[in-house]
């Protein structure tokens, strides 16, 4: 204790800074209490505010929202007992190949019922001609539209989120004209065509998806078979990139996983793999006919992994070397052992 704190006749109460007398001590302690409380309050508010700000910013950037958003329903149809799993048809007429393949699977009535609304999703990603094989063949697409309408569908949407300018892609590919002529309603990917949904994938939690994919009763995937610079190949599973709006750069940071995230989200009713012409190099854009091979082949089925495994062989790839095929199998989306399925091969 310092000399200032010692009791003395003039200063009977020690420790003046604490207790100068009952009244003085009360008012000083109350002041200290208020200042202290204020300091703690401000500190706590700053901490809570900083954490909230950080979380808010992180939430906005990391696409990990867990808000209540619509989830895309499972579009798969029940498989009748003994039905064929996969059909591979070869022949010079793409439309005839489609008809034969669907017939071999049991007819379009197996997949589409009267009054249902159906969305058809070809690859219309590129400002390219059909001969350049970057997009799905328009004759294949148009024939699918006709078969779906003949099965009694009340509405047939046709859509894709093009990579290049949609107007150019939809026109140059020949798909818009052919699909409209066959009776489809063509939905171009403008800003109003997207709706935010739950993806609930490993990488993608939510996404803006073309609305027909959300609203339709049935979904039909019609990809083209082509080489792809990053994922090795683009076929059925990869074609679901084309339902998503927004910047693509994030999707490519772990391409095989994000492909499976989207494929698991959609679960299509039917897949028709277009290998009328395939792009063997410089994909996915292509351009030079020197990179294109005409195969006059169409394959159809309900197992996207099996169809992609078959498509990979057309590109000279081992399906086990294609990351998204392996990931698709692991995710339970299908089997790469397409030869073990009940498969019909016609023509060629």
Partner 1 sequence: MQAAPEAAGASIIGLASPCNLRVIDAAALDCRPALAVIFVAVRIFVFVVLALIPPAFIGWMVREGHRAPAQAAAPAGKVRPSGAEADKILLALFQGDLGGAKVKDKVTLYDEKGLFDSIDGAAPIFIERHFRRQAATELATADGSDVDCAVYDMAEPANAQSIFDAEKSATAKPVTDFPDAIAGSMSFVFRSGRYYVKLTAFDAKAEAALPGLAKALKGKMK
Binding site for partner 1 (CB under 8 A): 1, 14-15, 17-19, 25-26, 29-30, 32-37, 39-40, 43-44, 46-47, 50-51, 54, 57-58, 61-62, 125, 127-129, 131-132, 163-164, 168, 172, 228-231, 234, 241, 247-249, 251-252, 255, 281-285, 287-291
To partner 1, the closest distance from the beta carbon of 143 in angstroms equals 24
Angle at 120 between CA 89 and CA 97, to 5 degrees: 15
Nearest CB to partner 1, comparing residues 174 and 319:
174
Nearest CB to partner 1, comparing residues 39 and 339:
39
Which is it for the CA torsion 157, 163, 166, 169, positive or negative? negative
To partner 1, the closest distance from the beta carbon of 313 in angstroms equals 20
To partner 1, the closest distance from the beta carbon of 190 in angstroms equals 16
Please provide residue 183's backbone torsions phi and psi, each rounded to the nearest 5 degrees: 115, 10
Nearest CB to partner 1, comparing residues 70 and 246:
246
List 222's β-bridge partners, or say none. Answer: 122
Nearest CB to partner 1, comparing residues 25 and 214:
25
Nearest CB to partner 1, comparing residues 248 and 330:
248
Please provide residue 314's backbone torsions phi and psi, each rounded to the nearest 5 degrees: -65, -30
To partner 1, the closest distance from the beta carbon of 205 in angstroms equals 14
**Cα distance between residue 156 and residue 139, in whole Å:** 16
**Cα distance between residue 136 and residue 133, in whole Å:** 7
To partner 1, the closest distance from the beta carbon of 13 in angstroms equals 9
Per-residue burial over 288-303, b if 16 or more Cβ lie within 10 Å, else e, is eeebbeebbbbbbbbb
Cβ-in-10-Å burial (0-12, 13-18, 19+) of 175 comes to buried
């Amino acid at each position: 204790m310092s000399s200032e704190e010692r009791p003395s006749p003039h200063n009977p109460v020690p420790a003046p800074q604490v207790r100068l007398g009952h009244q003085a001590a009360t008012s000083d302690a109350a002041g200290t209490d208020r200042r202290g409380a204020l300091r703690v309050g401000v500190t706590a508010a700053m901490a809570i505010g900083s954490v909230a700000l950080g979380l808010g910013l992180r939430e906005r950037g990391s696409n990990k929202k867990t808000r209540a958003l619509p989830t895309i329903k499972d579009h798969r149809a029940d498989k009748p007992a003994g039905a064929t799993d996969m059909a591979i048809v070869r022949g010079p007429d793409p439309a005839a190949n489609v008809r034969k393949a669907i017939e071999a699977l049991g007819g379009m009535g197996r997949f589409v019922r009267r009054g249902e609304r159906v969305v058809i999703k070809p690859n219309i990603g590129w400002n390219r001609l059909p001969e350049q094989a970057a997009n799905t063949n328009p004759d294949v697409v148009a024939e699918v539209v006709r078969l779906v309408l003949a099965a009694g569908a009340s509405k047939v949407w046709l859509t894709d989120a093009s990579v290049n300018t949609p107007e150019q892609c939809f026109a140059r590919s020949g798909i818009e004209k052919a699909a409209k002529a066959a009776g489809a309603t063509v939905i171009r990917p403008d800003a109003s065509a997207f709706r935010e949904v739950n993806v609930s994938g490993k990488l993608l939690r939510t996404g803006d998806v073309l609305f027909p994919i959300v609203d339709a009763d049935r979904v039909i995937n019609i990809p083209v078979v082509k080489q792809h610079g990053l994922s090795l190949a683009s076929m059925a599973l990869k074609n679901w990139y084309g339902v998503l709006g927004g910047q693509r750069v994030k999707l490519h940071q772990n391409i095989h996983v994000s492909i499976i995230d989207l494929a698991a989200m959609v679960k299509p009713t039917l897949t028709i793999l277009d290998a009328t012409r395939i792009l063997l190099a410089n994909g996915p854009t292509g351009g030079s006919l020197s990179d294109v091979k005409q195969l006059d082949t169409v394959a159809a089925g309900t197992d996207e992994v099996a169809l992609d495994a078959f498509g990979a062989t057309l590109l000279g790839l081992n399906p086990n070397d294609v990351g998204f095929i392996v990931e698709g199998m692991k995710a339970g989306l299908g089997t790469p052992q397409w030869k073990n399925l009940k498969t019909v091969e016609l023509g060629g």
